[in-house]
Amino acid sequence: MAGLVPQPSWFVLPCTEISKTLDTVEQVCAAASNAGIDRTGALIAIGGGVCSDIVTLAASLFRRGISHLRIPTTLIGQIDAGIGLKGGVNFAQRKNYLGCFYPPDAVAVIPRLLATLTRDGVKQGMAEMVKISCTSDPRLFTVLEQQTKELIDSNFQLPEAFAKEAIQRAITAMLKELRTNPFENRTLQRAVDFGHTVAHFLEVETAYTLHHGFAVSVDMAFSCVVGWRLGILSFEMAMRVINLLAISGLPIHHHALTEDLIAASFSAAANHRGGAINLVIPTGLGTYAFLKKKSDLGAKLTREVLDWLRQEQERVLVQTATDTVAGNTDYGGFEVSSTRPSFEGCL
């Protein structure tokens, strides 16, 4: 935190979904106050998406709003949370329920900072990269399919030229989406909501033990299989997305994803998105459609989609275990089924 005093003051934030609360925002404001920051001062968020969400909200509130800057240290932070306009905290069992639109004064993206991420941290960021590439940058998606293993194994440091380009392209695609609808009031149909309809409920249902990135991955797989079963996304394309998630080591199913959870998520999404669910379903690389009504996806089809995802997840796990035992931990070892599972009368 920097005020008129040249020395910055530091405040180490607890950064988990459980501590992403108004109480923590107050702690940041108290630290800013103790540090003597005036209205010309600034808060600097150095950390992942939880950190920037909390600090952004604190900056928007402190003395009715002071500057803030972000130095995102996670992949999700660098391509998504740190780039956008939003800050927020969890409230009353609802994810990001209290928040603000409050653009940062500057963001410094330093890919080297990703070198210390855990493997899970890298995978979680990969989920958001799959999201934005699928809806908005087909070339990025295609190269990710070829480079997944090296990117993940090297914490997005190698292959050097492409790792940086991938981050840049993901940021560019995200900014392009934000530029036309920064405050989410021009349209409630947003490509960047791909993977973000049932995900938030999954996080809450699992008491945040399922990380945001993993929940987004499950949501994207669900949306793709819905699209395939509704006949608006080809089986091949749905499997390309699912395969990219699987070879990235991301989940495509979670036992908490039930019919009830989906129904609750759809109601909440409709409430948030002007009466329509607006579930984002890719229709190809770089194209997508929006599922509007709950009734577009009947109970029978929902059950079939969930069964298919569960079976596919089990198959991926068996395949991964077999590869590990055989000493073949190559991500490319996961083969996509070429046959179309048969579901009666749901197309």
Could you list the residues that contact ligand NAD (CB under 6 A)? Answer: 15, 17, 20, 47-51, 53, 73-74, 76-77, 80-81, 84, 86, 96, 113, 116-117, 121, 124, 212-213
Residue with Cβ nearer ligand NAD (77 or 251): 77
Beta bridge partners of 287: 284
For 103-132, give one letter per residue: b (16+ CB within 10 A) or e. Answer: ebeebebebebbeebeeebbbbbbbbbbbb
Residue with Cβ nearer ligand NAD (76 or 257): 76
Q: How far is the CB of 172 from ligand NAD (least distance, A)?
A: 16
Q: How far is the CB of 122 from ligand NAD (least distance, A)?
A: 10
Q: What is the DSSP string of 126-138?
A: HHHHHHHHHHH-H
Residue with Cβ nearer ligand NAD (51 or 171): 51
* Spatial separation of the C-alpha atoms in residues 307 and 320, rounded to whole Å: 20
Residue with Cβ nearer ligand NAD (86 or 253): 86
Q: Residue 305, SS3?
A: helix
3-state secondary structure string across 59-109: HHHHHHCCEEEEEECCHHHHHHHCCCCEEEEEECCEEEEEEEECCCCEECC
Q: How far is the CB of 216 from ligand NAD (least distance, A)?
A: 9
Residue with Cβ nearer ligand NAD (113 or 130): 113
* Spatial separation of the C-alpha atoms in residues 18 and 167, rounded to whole Å: 28
Q: How far is the CB of 116 from ligand NAD (least distance, A)?
A: 4
What residue type is assigned to position 251 of the chain?
P
Residue with Cβ nearer ligand NAD (3 or 213): 213
Q: How far is the CB of 67 from ligand NAD (least distance, A)?
A: 17
Q: What strands lie across the sheet with 106-107, from one edge to the other?
A: 42-47, 67-72, 106-107
List the Cα angle 309/310/311 in 5-degree steps: 90
Q: How far is the CB of 213 from ligand NAD (least distance, A)?
A: 6
Residues shown for the chain:
347
Q: How far is the CB of 212 from ligand NAD (least distance, A)?
A: 4
Residue with Cβ nearer ligand NAD (110 or 299): 110
Q: How far is the CB of 181 from ligand NAD (least distance, A)?
A: 13
Residue with Cβ nearer ligand NAD (73 or 302): 73
What residue type is assigned to position 291 of the chain?
L
Q: How far is the CB of 18 from ligand NAD (least distance, A)?
A: 10
Q: Give the contacts of 188 (CB within 8 A, at least 6 positions apart).
A: 273, 274, 276, 278
Q: Which residue is nearest to ligand NAD (CB)?
A: 49
CA dihedral 225, 210, 69, 60 (to 10 degrees): 90
Q: Residue 245, SS3?
A: helix
* Spatial separation of the C-alpha atoms in residues 220 and 198, rounded to whole Å: 9
**Kind of pairing between the strands at 106-107 and 67-72:** parallel
